[in-house]
């Protein structure tokens, strides 16, 4: 455990050094000039208005996940280990979708800033399509190869069987996550960050907690606990599909 922790900190430190070094040497406008660094009140206010809602959203995500994890823990060590294996495997899904989310947020911000609203809308559709293709492809691999991949992390047959059961339940449903991430990122690219935060917290965090507190006791099984994820993905994605259509009807203009 200590070795894994040290490796994590070391990798983050090296990444930070490499990024800062690159920013010091680049000729792009984002180049760091130490002597010119100081606070600009209007820019700081803008950063806080855009960044605080996103930061609050990210910080509250773990709360709902801890509630779910505590319920999973009650099913014993095999359930904990199997869920951990699933987390290692489906990390690719979150990485891919979050990357598309970051890309479309930047794309929409640039095009709305240049008043190319039609191009921004087309970009959102293309991004959703690309995300679907990537997620469905990875989901197929995870569905059929989850047993072999799981053995890279653990050799216990009972844990592997349980992880296969959970992964084959979740793999066909990962695409439901796309709407809540890509569309919310596109909306944030227009400068609107508060309402996407509220929709995400209600659709994802609150929905999962409510599911665990009220639905799971009706059928206290591991699968019922895991259902909290696809249910929250559906609720969040539908919310953002509706909100995006309303936002798009206004031309995706920056508020």
CB burial class (10 A; 0-12, 13-18, 19+) of residue 20?
exposed
pTM of the model: 0.83
Rg of the chain over Cα atoms, rounded to whole angstroms, equals 21
Q: State the residue range of the domain holding 170.
A: 57-249
pLDDT at 9: 96
Per-residue pLDDT of the chain (255 residues; tens, 9 = 90+): 899 999 999 999 999 999 999 999 998 888 888 888 888 888 888 888 878 887 777 777 788 889 999 999 999 999 999 999 999 999 889 999 999 999 999 999 999 888 898 899 899 999 999 999 999 999 999 999 999 999 999 999 999 999 999 999 999 999 999 999 999 999 988 888 888 888 988 988 899 999 999 999 999 999 999 999 999 999 999 999 999 888 777 656 544
Chain CA centroid to CA 52, Å: 17
In-domain check, residue 69: yes
Q: How many domains does the chain have?
A: 1
pLDDT at 252: 60
In-domain check, residue 173: yes
- Fill in the DSSP letter of residue 171: G
- CB proximity list for 142: less than 8 A, separation 6 or greater: 89, 90, 92, 93, 149, 167, 171
In-domain check, residue 186: yes
Structure tokens at 229: 């994820």
In-domain check, residue 6: no
Residues of the chain above pLDDT 70, percent: 97
pLDDT at 51: 80
In-domain check, residue 188: yes
pLDDT at 254: 46
In-domain check, residue 11: no
In-domain check, residue 78: yes
Rounded distance between C-alpha atoms, residue 102 and residue 189, angstroms:
9
**How does pLDDT run across 70-97, given as a tens digit for each residue?**
999 999 999 999 999 999 999 889 999 9
**How does pLDDT run across 169-186, given as a tens digit for each residue?**
999 999 999 999 999 999
pLDDT at 251: 59
Alpha helices per DSSP H over 151-183: 157-170, 177-178
In-domain check, residue 47: no
Rounded distance between C-alpha atoms, residue 133 and residue 127, angstroms:
10
pLDDT at 250: 66
Tokens 């991949």 appear where?
A: 149
Q: Alpha carbon of 142 to those of 25, 86, 155, 198: distances in Å?
A: 41, 9, 18, 32
pLDDT at 253: 55
Helix orientation angle between 77-89 and 91-113, rounded to the nearest 10 degrees: 40
Structure tokens at 62: 């773990």
């Amino acid at each position: 455990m200590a070795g894994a922790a040290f490796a994590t900190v070391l990798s983050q430190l090296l990444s930070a050094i490499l990024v800062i070094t690159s920013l010091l040497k680049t000729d792009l406008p984002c180049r760091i000039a130490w002597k010119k660094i100081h606070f600009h009140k209007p820019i700081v206010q803008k950063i806080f208005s855009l960044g605080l809602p996103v930061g609050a959203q990210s910080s509250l995500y773990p709360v709902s996940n801890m509630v779910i994890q505590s319920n999973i823990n009650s099913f014993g060590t095999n359930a904990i280990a199997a869920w951990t294996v699933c987390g290692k495997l489906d990390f690719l899904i979150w990485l891919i979708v979050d990357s598309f989310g970051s890309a479309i947020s930047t794309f929409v911000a640039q095009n709305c800033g240049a008043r190319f609203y039609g191009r921004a809308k087309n970009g959102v559709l293309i991004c959703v399509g690309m995300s679907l293709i990537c997620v469905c492809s990875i989901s197929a691999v995870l569905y059929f190869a989850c047993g072999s991949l799981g053995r890279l992390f653990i050799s216990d047959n009972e844990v592997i069987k349980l992880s296969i059961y959970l992964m084959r339940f979740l793999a066909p449903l990962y695409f439901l996550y796309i709407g809540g991430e890509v569309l919310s990122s596109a909306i944030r690219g227009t400068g609107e960050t508060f309402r996407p935060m509220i929709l995400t917290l209600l659709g994802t965090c609150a929905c999962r907690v409510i599911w665990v507190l009220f639905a799971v006791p009706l059928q206290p099984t591991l699968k019922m606990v895991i259902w909290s994820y696809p249910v929250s993905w559906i609720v969040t994605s539908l919310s953002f599909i509706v909100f995006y259509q309303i936002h798009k009807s206004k031309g995706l203009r920056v508020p």
